[in-house]
Structure 1
Amino acid sequence: MGDQQLTEALKGEPANSIITSTIEKGSTVLVTGANGFIASHVVNQLLLAGYAVRGTVRSPARAQWMHDLFDPQYGADRFETVVVPDMVADGAFDAAVKGVSGIVHLASVLTFSNEYEAVVPPTVKGALNVLMSASKEAGVRSIVYTSSSTAALLPQPDKEIVVTTETWNDAAVHAARHEANPDAFTVYAASKTEAERAVWRAVAETRPPFQVCAVLPNANFGRILQPGGEKGASTGSWVVSLFTGEVQGVDPVEIPPQYFVNVADDARLHVAALIDPACNGKRIFAFAQPFNWNDILAILRKLRPDKEFREDVDCGRDLSEVPNQEAEELLRKHYGHGWTSLEESIRENVATLA
């Protein structure tokens, strides 16, 4: 399904049909890719905020730990899961959206293949499928699309870069399309860039009867909710690798320094973006502050003076200027506090490690 098909499906909506009212407490929110590191925190924050949650997973086995975690805490009737084996299939989310008031779309292609066709088109199609399914469900009032910091830029240490809400990572898209052997992270960045742009293009063309917001998170650190899930916790695994000394895939110190955000703060921003009318049409930058690996190593040494960690590395600094003030204001508005510190985030990240 392309942009034109989505436009045709929604073009009957009047231009003034955007609804910016918040969704009611107790109503159901759909969270796609619910068992992921960030998504599981989004589920938790939604449950804490008084919503029921329906999460999509690719198989029932992927969701069992979430039921074990959330059902005793919130009740078995508050969290349910549905299987969506292929988000690219036409109508993939039609059944999942039935009866929901809000949608948070976090599912994405995370194979880290460096092949453009294997990553970018499926990511775009999945995002548009969510919009298409939402257009068929009259009760949907708000959608949050989880984009990425990489939709705006890739980190470049010691280089002063000014990012605005209109900044797009065209360099990653060009490299992913035209380089003979692009870096897999660059292809991922291209997928998030193209998918978010497709979402905004579709919204502009169709003016759907629900509010839409994008959240752009940077590296997420913090508590890993899945028991024993430290090795599959996305960017949270970077800190685990530094703590244990066991490299899981890429050595984290080979990843450029960038901004971080506490994963629970990121999830809170998703909730705020979903329920706050002022977020309609916004790109919310979930960038708390810059870090480098020596910062994290210093915190680990402070937290565990009995443990030996690797030596400091030559890694530079992220000097980019980003529009993250609105995100912190949302945290203060809805939760009464600003960003969680890097030290607290690292403390939470390694809390379950011996």
Structure 2
Amino acid sequence: MPPSYILTTGATGFIGAHVISNLLAQNIRVRGTYRSQSKVDRITTHLRSIHGDEKVERLLDFVYTGDLEEGGFDEALKGVDGVVHCASPLNFTLKPEQIINPAIAGTKSLLSSITSTGSVKKLVVLSSFAAVVDEFSKGLGPDVEYTAQDWNPITYEQGMSELRYSYLASKTLSEREVWKWSEGNGKGVGVVSLCPPLVFGPIAHPVEKISELNSSNAELWFLTTGFSPLPLSPVPAWVSIHDLTTALVNAVLDDSITNKRYTIASPEPFSSQLAADTFRELFDWAKDRVTEGEPGVYPAVSKLEGEITRKELLGGREYIKWKETVEEAVKQFKAVEDKEKASA
């Protein structure tokens, strides 16, 4: 039997909010974790406008999680039989230890609570391409392809040495904790992890300021500032938030998918020049705001395998296209910017 009551951690964030909305659309009971009541109030109001008061009242609830110590998820897991773990700190104004340690501690706390409560039969973990890429030896050259069998070899010490390595370490080391647990105390729980690259698309959680965009979308929107020369993106791959959400939800609901690690990525590579070209093509206002660069000149980049996920978690349908994703997302972001300026 597939899970009937699913806990989503990081529920008020970019990806977690989409997961909750998707589950509600399928009439599945869902619980979210939160640390900010104001964010819960905003997202609940938003979800009511989409799914209706009755459905949200009947199927959605939230549980507060404070400091993520051992047992910190015990209350949140009561009655739950499936988990989608999306929560992870990502704030590059922090120090390395403020990124790495909470990510590992939060994952270990969740795993400990799953073990002690005993009701969870399926755990889906949102990891990252950061846990796959090997900057130290393979790099991102055009002859390189990454798959779910690849692991970032970064160590805790390397992650602590430089801020730019801290996110790589946080995602790698916290995912490794999951797989180590699955071979020990987690036996009997079906585990799946997904490792997406940049995630673009519209937001399902209300934001009042452009500065509240998630990191991937913020990177995309940054190109509208006229920064020149166009920055070189550190990640040459992307996926639509809709495709990622579908994959996460299908992974937790499908009993036949267990103990598997996936990479997920559109076959269309990402570059800042591609984004700039698309902005200027789709939006008249972008012609005055987005650096032209060298139109049509895109770097040769590594590939991230996504075909297995397409077949097994997306029902075999094609990935959502780049232009479709940009048009939907950027229209929404521009509306947020316009409203913010109007209220200033």
Which TM-score applies when normalising by structure 1?
Answer: 0.82
- The verdict on how the C-alpha distance between 1:90 and 1:257 changes in structure 2, with shifts beyond 3 A counting, is closer
3-state SS in 2 of match to 1:92 = coil
Q: Deviations over 1:210-233 (max 9, x none)?
A: 211111111011112233354222
Aligned pair count?
320
Q: State which of 259, 263, 278 in structure 1 corresponds to 2:241.
A: 263
Q: Does 1:107 align with 2:87?
A: yes
Q: Deviations over 1:281-319 (max 9, x none)?
A: 111212113111111111111211353221226996363
Counterpart contact for 1:162–1:322, Cα < 8 Å: yes
The match for 1:47 is 24
Instruction: Return the letter of the residue paired with 2:282.
Output: L
The match for 1:163 is 146
Counterpart contact for 2:264–2:305, Cα < 8 Å: no
3-state SS in 1 of match to 2:58 = coil
- The verdict on how the C-alpha distance between 1:241 and 1:117 changes in structure 2, with shifts beyond 3 A counting, is closer
Q: How does 1:140-151 map to 2 (within 5 A)?
A: 140-151=120-131
Q: How does 1:177-192 map to 2 (within 5 A)?
A: 177=160, 179=161, 182=162, 184-192=163-171
The match for 1:242 is 223
Q: State which of 311, 316, 319 in structure 1 corresponds to 2:292.
A: 311
Q: Does 1:323 align with 2:301?
A: no
Q: Does 1:223 align with 2:205?
A: no
Where structure 1 has 5 or more consecutive residues not aligned to the other structure, the ranges are 1-20
- How far the C-alpha of 1:51 sits from its partner, in A, is 0.9
- Distance in 1, Cα, partners of 2:118 & 2:150: 33
Instruction: Return the letter of the residue paired with 2:79.
Output: G
Q: State which of 72, 79, 82 in structure 2 corresponds to 1:92.
A: 72
Q: State which of 269, 275, 300 in structure 1 corresponds to 2:253.
A: 275
The match for 1:79 is 60
- The verdict on how the C-alpha distance between 1:139 and 1:36 changes in structure 2, with shifts beyond 3 A counting, is same
- Distance in 2, Cα, partners of 1:32 & 1:322: 26
The match for 1:295 is 274
- The verdict on how the C-alpha distance between 1:316 and 1:304 changes in structure 2, with shifts beyond 3 A counting, is closer
- Distance in 2, Cα, partners of 1:328 & 1:279: 14
3-state SS in 2 of match to 1:186 = helix
- The verdict on how the C-alpha distance between 1:252 and 1:233 changes in structure 2, with shifts beyond 3 A counting, is farther
- How far the C-alpha of 1:340 sits from its partner, in A, is 0.5
- The verdict on how the C-alpha distance between 1:318 and 1:191 changes in structure 2, with shifts beyond 3 A counting, is farther
- Distance in 1, Cα, partners of 2:209 & 2:194: 24
Q: Deviations over 1:29-79 (max 9, x none)?
A: 111111111111111111122212111111211211110111241422222
3-state SS in 2 of match to 1:30 = strand
- Distance in 1, Cα, partners of 2:299 & 2:142: 8
Q: Does 1:343 align with 2:320?
A: no
Which TM-score applies when normalising by structure 2?
Answer: 0.85
- Distance in 2, Cα, partners of 1:213 & 1:138: 18
3-state SS in 2 of match to 1:95 = coil
- Distance in 1, Cα, partners of 2:9 & 2:282: 35
- How far the C-alpha of 1:238 sits from its partner, in A, is 1.9
Moved more, 52-61 or 312-321: 312-321
The CA RMSD over aligned residues, in Å, is: 2.5
- The verdict on how the C-alpha distance between 1:205 and 1:270 changes in structure 2, with shifts beyond 3 A counting, is same
The match for 1:209 is 188
